[in-house]
Amino acid sequence: MSVSRTLVIVLPLLASCAAQPLPPGLPQSALGLPDHFSLSGAEAPPQLWWRSFHDPQMDALVQQALTGSPDLRAALWRLEQAAAVARGARAGLWPQLTGGLEHTEQRRSEDSDFDFSGGENEGGSWSGRLAASYEVDLWGRVRFAARAAEAARLASEESLQAAALSLASEVATTWLQLREQWGQRDLLRQQLDTNRKTLRVLELRFGGGISAAADVLQQRQLVEQSQQELTETEFNIEVLRVQLATLVGTTPGHFGSMVEPVIGLPALPKLPDTGVPAQLLLRRPDVMEAQRNLLEGHYLARQAWAERLPVISLSALYSGGGPSISDITRDWLLTLTAAAEGVISDGARLSSEQRRQEALEQERWALLENTVLNALSEVERALIQEQAVRERLDFLQERARLSDLIVQRQRRAYSRGTVDFLNVLTATNEQQALERQLLSAQRELIENRVVLYRALSGGLPGENLPTPQPVELEIYRQGGT
């Protein structure tokens, strides 16, 4: 279906809502949506999806981030700006009323032209005026501007929701990585202890003339390798702690008291019901934001068309005055005016602006299509990735089982003198690497579930989002003057 025909189908649906939420969805034929996803579970994904992992510390960190993140507060204040612009745009639908009151004193000099000290009072006068003006929105210029501003406000709401979901996903992902690194540290400590024990045995055998010096040196190298990896893991833990502190809106020093090390990973929740793709697009804030951006572009194009037509306005001026303030209501004049004003020639400025807005509308339609495709792709990629990681875990578990058997046999063979110690060293190194890979793959599987929840998620309840709390900026203003 061509873009022009698609716009004919979609825009009437969008335009019909004006300041209301968008009507239920875009037609599947307009965007070529599939009927279903490749894989689905049975349970509906929860709105607060991070609670599915039953991890109290993850829950606390996400909640802290949603209320304390400066980046999210900035998005909230952008929404406040959009709301103020929308209120200002709606003001053009009402008449504008202004008024004024003046008092004038007059004195005349008795002597010189410049000596006013002994002048006589010539009296004073009062004057007042009340003016009202109203644009007859015959072509919809003001109305389209108000609807465009309201669509921008609705888009800002969805932008805030999208930012909140991204933040929650990033916090959950970083927390899972930190838990994995704690597990890797515990595993490496065990491996280092095992390697040191083996080294001590080899040193004793070397002292008794049973083992060769090369065997001792090779084992020392493995100990140093384990120590190096343990040190790198310690640094990784510190980096992730700093990253989490930034995400939740605090400093690394204060973050230390917020979490406690946990060994192991949370259990993987059941696969959620992925639902129908068309329903997904009604939930995802980024898709809804793109829809409302398209709606804004539609109204801006209509406004640009109306700007080229004459402006019809009505005005009324009430004025009066006299020596006394009460004369304003007795001696008055009422002037009524109806006017029409339009541009005769502007060098094609208004028509060029109209074409620009129409091109912007087409661009936003393309961005909406791209957002929809990305949304569908995120869900499908998460489903495929989960199957791939599950397969990899099965292979790793079997390889780890075989590796344990190989290490046992190589150690027995070395004790009988039938194989070189390098065989034992290689098997041990492979065994320990597989143990660490298994833990990483388990974390990757759970982290992928976070990605899937994020791809399927709709907006968050208002009580989980920050509220506007103005900061006293006087101290900063004083510092800047």
Residues 429 and 188: their CA atoms lie apart, in Å, by: 12
Residue 420 lies in a domain: yes
Question: Alpha carbon of 425 to those of 26, 229, 434: distances in Å?
Answer: 62, 17, 14
Q: Which residue matches tokens 């190589």?
A: 410
User: Which are the contacts of 253, defined by CB distance < 8 A and separation ≥ 6?
Assistant: none
Name the pLDDT band for 8 (thresholds 50, 70, 90).
Answer: very low
Q: What is the pLDDT of residue 475?
A: 57
Q: Tell me the pLDDT tens digit for each residue of 12-57.
A: 444 444 334 333 344 445 566 778 888 888 888 889 999 999 999 9
pLDDT for position 476: 59
CATH of the domain at 182: 1.20.1600.10
Q: Does a structural domain hold residue 332?
A: no
- Does residue 287 form part of some domain? yes
Query: Does 27 fall in a domain?
Result: yes
Question: By the 8 A CB rule, do 219 and 201 touch?
Answer: no
Residue 46 has a pLDDT of 87
Q: Over the Cα atoms of the chain, what is R_g?
A: 37
CA distances, 402 to each of 33, 431, 441, 444 (Å) = 46, 9, 18, 23
**Distance, C-alpha 247 to centroid of its chain:** 12
Q: What is the DSSP string of 41-90?
A: -SBPPPSSGGGGG--HHHHHHHHHHHHH-HHHHHHHHHHHHHHHHHHHHH
Provide the residue range defining the domain that includes 49: 3-91+141-304+364-465
Range 420-429 average pLDDT: 90
Note whether residue 470 is domain-resident. no
Q: Is the pLDDT of residue 92 over 90?
A: no
d(CA 468, CA 76): 7
Structure tokens at 376: 């569908």
The total of structural domains in the chain comes to 1
User: Is 210 within the bounds of a domain?
Assistant: yes
Q: How far is CA 360 from CA 22, 300, 314, in A?
A: 20, 9, 33
Mean of the per-residue pLDDT values for the chain? 85
Contacts of 426 (CB under 8 A, 6+ apart): none
For residue 403, being part of any structural domain is answered with yes
pLDDT single digits (tens) 102-154: 888 877 665 555 554 555 556 678 888 899 998 898 898 999 999 999 999 99
